[in-house]
Amino acid sequence: MNSNRRTFVIQSVVGAGVFASASLAQAQTALVETDAQATALGYKADATKADKVKYPKYAAGQQCGNCALYQGKAGAASGPCPLFAGKQVAAKGWCSAWAKKA
C-alpha cells in the first residue's frame, strides 16, 4: 500500500507542476498588433499610436490599464483581456473595444 500511495503522490506533484507550467506559459504570451483579432479591433501596444482617424472614439488617456475589460493587476505592465483569450495586452495599449471602468 505504501508503494501505491508514494506513486500517487509523485504523479500528483508532477501533474500539478506540468499544469502550472502550461498555465504560466499561456499567460505570458504577449498580444502582437498583427494578430487577426488585434488588427480587427485596432489594438496598439502604445495607446498614443492609435489611429485617431479610423477610431475617432479614441481619447487621450484611454489605455487598456484603465479599461473595464482589463483583468491585470493595477500597476502591472500587462495583463489578460477576455477579448484576446490566452494573451497579455499592454497596460498602456488601446483597442476600439475600450470601455470606461464603472
Same domain? For 45 and 3 the reply is: no
- The domain total for the chain is 2
**Predicted pLDDT at 16:** 61
Do the Cβ atoms of 80 and 87 come closer than 8 Å? yes
For residue 63, the enclosing domain spans: 31-102
**Predicted pLDDT at 58:** 97
Instruction: Give the angle subtended at the CA of 44 by the CAs of 52 and 42, to the nearest 5°.
Output: 60
Same domain? For 39 and 86 the reply is: yes
**Predicted pLDDT at 54:** 96
Comparing CA positions, the residue from 87, 91, 96, 94 lying closest to residue 31 is: 87
Q: Cα–Cα distances in Å, from 20 out to 3, 23, 31, 66?
A: 26, 5, 21, 28
Same domain? For 51 and 4 the reply is: no
The ranges of the chain with pLDDT < 50 are 1, 25-26
Query: CA-to-CA distance for 9 and 25, rounded, in angstroms?
Result: 24
